[in-house]
């Protein structure tokens, strides 16, 4: 599972009343404890910023255990889904779920005054290996009022 956690984890608690993380997602995220993102999510759960939960997975082709659990939990509690994986996003949209991704979190954070610019954060994500299509980046920059 790849997500812009290093940039976004600190923002989630400021943007959302509660952020639940299914155990399957947590286990995927901390599978490599030497990584900074694994340490950050572990610390966020320990501090209570992220809440571990059980989830009944939603079975669909093309989804891994974490994505299935996240979609299942979102259905269960009628919540928005935080996901970047395209298969998970398509599945969630087909189920009528509201989906927000890493760039959506950054745009929300800018609108709430939590970050001054989105462009620099997107560049950091890209530099760290996150693949973002030019269309998705352009849409996010437009939504953030940072047109090229």
Whether 46 and 28 share a structural domain: yes
Which residues, at least 6 apart from 35, have a Cβ–Cβ distance to it below 8 Å? none
Residue 20 DSSP SS3? strand
Asked if residue 148 is part of any domain, the answer here is no
Whether 31 and 80 share a structural domain: yes
- CA distances 55 to 21, 24, 43, 106, Å, are 9, 8, 21, 26
Q: Taking a C-beta distance cutoff of 8 angstroms, is the pair 100, 81 a contact? A: yes
* 1-21: pLDDT as tens digits: 345 556 677 788 889 989 999
* 84-109: pLDDT as tens digits: 889 999 999 999 999 999 999 999 99
Whether 94 and 123 share a structural domain: no
Whether 94 and 117 share a structural domain: no
Whether 22 and 85 share a structural domain: yes
Structural domain harbouring 29 = 5-101
Whether 82 and 113 share a structural domain: no
The C-alpha angle 53, 130, 136, rounded to 5 degrees, equals 95
Asked if residue 54 is part of any domain, the answer here is yes
Whether 81 and 110 share a structural domain: no
Asked if residue 9 is part of any domain, the answer here is yes
Q: What is the total count of domains within the chain? A: 2
Whether 10 and 45 share a structural domain: yes
Whether 45 and 61 share a structural domain: yes
pLDDT over 90 (residue 141): yes
Q: Tell me which residue of 67, 71, 75, 143 sits closest to 104, measured CA to CA.
A: 143
Which residues, at least 6 apart from 59, have a Cβ–Cβ distance to it below 8 Å? 68
Residue 52 DSSP SS3? strand
Whether 115 and 89 share a structural domain: no
* 22-73: pLDDT as tens digits: 999 999 889 988 877 788 888 889 988 889 999 999 999 999 999 999 999 9
Whether 42 and 82 share a structural domain: yes
User: pLDDT confidence of 117, banded at 50, 70, 90?
Assistant: very high
């Amino acid at each position: 599972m790849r997500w812009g956690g290093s940039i976004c984890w600190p923002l989630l608690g400021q943007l959302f009343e509660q952020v639940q993380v299914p155990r399957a997602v947590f286990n995927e995220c901390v599978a490599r404890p030497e990584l900074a993102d694994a340490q950050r999510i572990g610390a966020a759960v320990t501090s209570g910023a992220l809440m571990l939960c059980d989830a009944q997975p939603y079975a669909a082709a093309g989804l891994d255990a974490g994505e299935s659990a996240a979609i299942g939990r979102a259905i269960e509690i009628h919540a928005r889904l935080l996901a970047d994986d395209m298969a998970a996003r398509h599945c969630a949209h087909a189920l009528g779920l509201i989906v927000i991704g890493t760039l959506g979190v950054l745009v929300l954070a800018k609108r709430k005054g939590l970050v001054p610019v989105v462009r620099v954060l997107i560049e950091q994500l890209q530099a760290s290996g996150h693949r973002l299509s030019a269309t998705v980046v352009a849409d996010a920059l437009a939504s953030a009022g940072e047109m090229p």
